[in-house]
Amino acid sequence: MKVVILEDERLTAQRLESLLHRYDPEIRVLATLPSVEKAVAWFSQPQPEKPDLVFMDIHLQDGLAFRVIEQVKLTTPIIFTTAFDEYVIQAFKVNSIDYLLKPLSYDELVAAITKYKKLKEQFAQPSSAPPATPMVAPDMDALVRMLGAFKETTYKDRFMITVGSKIRSVETSEIAYFFLDERMAFLVTKDGATLPVDYSLDKLTTLLNPKQFFRISRQFLVTLPAIHTIHTYSAGKWRLDLQPKSRLEAFVSGDRIADLKEWLGK
């Protein structure tokens, strides 16, 4: 089996490779890539050998590994290896076999590889052929489609908000944006109501449809209709005027501008 490792921590990458060789000394690591830029470059170039499986950390040196999947249209099955559990829903929207939390457990790694092999074997079986028929190569596109079917994502469509002794249900479609103020998260409805929510913005990012909500910074998670005006500055800095108007200035983090441009263009 041939694998590629996306991991920005050298010791972690070495440990993963050691665990893989403990499982099967014949496993070959074709590349260890520490950044989105290097991963995109590697997958974009013709390679003498293609990987059967990718082990992918989510936080790389220059951004989230999901950008690699988007930019090179990666269809190789993936086992995610990360220290963060808030990306599990986003991970299972792509061709993910499993989602392993660091520090990696050898037993969990073996279980994930076993799952991959069983899926691969299933798609290698001829559907209706006599026993003498040779085995065909696995249909990896069909494997990816099946994985997607198994992992349909359901996003949150309403929030129960408690204010004093009153409880209110707010449909997600009514929300313009979320923001963080003094460690408290709030939602702002399209009609201008500001209400507290019992979720962090990190958690909200996993609960909401990324086609409808974009995390512009640690402080704001916005919808497209809420963006009234975009102000650009010479240093590559962006500021948004939101509608309804926000009492806090909504700046776009520098490392999110490229992704926001792509999101705005979809």
Q: Nearest Cα to 192, choosing from 235, 151, 247, 142? A: 247
Residue 151 tokens read as: 């992992």
Q: 147: burial class by Cβ within 10 Å (0-12, 13-18, 19+)?
A: middle
Contacts of 8 (CB under 8 A, 6+ apart): 34, 35, 57, 59, 60, 61
Mean of pLDDT values over 75-102: 76
Residue 6: band (very low, low, confident or very high) from pLDDT cuts 50, 70, 90: very high
Mean pLDDT value across residues 40-59? 93
Q: What's the topology of domain 158-265?
A: OB fold (Dihydrolipoamide Acetyltransferase, E2P) (2.40.50)
Q: Which of 51-60, 149-158, 235-244, 256-265 has the lowest mean pLDDT?
A: 149-158
**pLDDT confidence band for 135 (50 / 70 / 90):** very low
Report the alpha-carbon distance of residue 219 to residue 114 in Å, rounded.
41
Q: Which of 41, 48, 77, 47 is nearest to 62 (CA)?
A: 41
pLDDT computed for residue 175 by the predictor: 97
Domain definitions of the chain by residue range: 2-150, 158-265
Which architecture characterizes domain 2-150 according to CATH? 3-Layer(aba) Sandwich (3.40)
pLDDT of 139 > 50? The answer is: no
Averaged over 254-263, what is the pLDDT?
A: 86
* pLDDT score recorded for residue 62: 86
Least confident of 127-136, 151-160, 242-251: 127-136
* DSSP 8-class letter at 74: -
Output the pLDDT for position 246. 94
Topology match between the domains 2-150 and 158-265: no
